[in-house]
Amino acid sequence: MLKEVNRTVEKFMIVLIAITILISFFYPQVITSYLDPSYVNYFLMIVMLAMGLNLSINDFVVIIKQPKYICLGIIAQFVLMPLLAYIVARLFNFDLALIVGLVLIGTCPGGVASNVITYLSDGDTALSIGMTSVNTVLATFLTPLITFLILKTSVNVDTLAIFLSIIQIVIIPLVLGFIINHYFSKSVKKISPIFPTFAILSVIFIIAIVISYNVEKILSVGLLIFLSVVVLNLLGHICGFAIGKIFRMPLDKSKTFSIEIAMQNSALATTLATNAFPTLAMACVPGVVYSIWQNLFGAVVAYVFKRLK
């Protein structure tokens, strides 16, 4: 029963996201009447908890068995994507707030959505989860550090605020889920099929909150911010797949790299922009738009990749 529910939610994920976007954009009061912006943190924590509950010591064997792929994933995630984000922001001649928003997208790790899309694409799901988990843990230190290194000449980066936010929102629930799964694995296994559903629904609620409370900001930036987000996401997919081909990876791993590098934890980027850069109101907008685009385009990628042999 739980597996059937999960398959149904995964199957109609893109439809649910599309409906959520439309309602949040055209009828934001429907969302704002019931959901507070602070709930984003809690939904993010649910996503991380669900990821942790799916992790066991065996999952980290992939790090030992496939160290080359994990190391390449770390470099691509924390060197390539931040640089691409900064270059795209400069090419579009954005002001400081939007530069900060795009750079935060680039410096954040992959999100749970990347694991779902990898699964739907017939990619290497174990590698995807391994890359997401390792990069999420490393993001505790690397996201504040890289953000500071890129933006230090432009804006005062509150690295401590970013660090504390990641600890609270990402690391604690992730570790808690891992511990629960380790000591109560039999009980967790019975209900594990529903975890992806909780993660997907949490992401949908995050999208709803972020859009409904930022409709005016989204409209104010217009087409350019949308184009910049599309360019950054496409570059992530292309470069990720190219890395797979350059290093002669099997097709399933090339798919995984494409998805894992391009699909960022944009909800985290939005939250960090709000917490660490309170004086730059528009810094959260790129994360909002990226979240919308990557989930919609992710479904297209899954459709194409599944048929790519």
Band of residue 257 on the pLDDT scale cut at 50, 70, 90: very high
The residue-averaged pLDDT of 237-260 equals 94
Band of residue 238 on the pLDDT scale cut at 50, 70, 90: very high
CA 29 to CA 33: how far, in whole Å?
A: 6
Contacts of 166 (CB under 8 A, 6+ apart): 139, 140, 143, 144, 268, 272
Strand partners, 264: 110
pLDDT at 61 over 80: no
pLDDT at 6 over 70: no
**Among 101, 36, 90, 96, residue whose Cα is nearest residue 273:** 101
DSSP percent split of the chain into helix, strand, coil, nearest 5: 85, 0, 15
CA 76 to CA 72: how far, in whole Å?
A: 6
**Among 200, 212, 211, 207, residue whose Cα is nearest residue 33:** 212
Question: How many Cβ atoms are within 10 Å of 184's Cβ, its own excluded?
Answer: 11
**pTM strictly above 0.85:** no
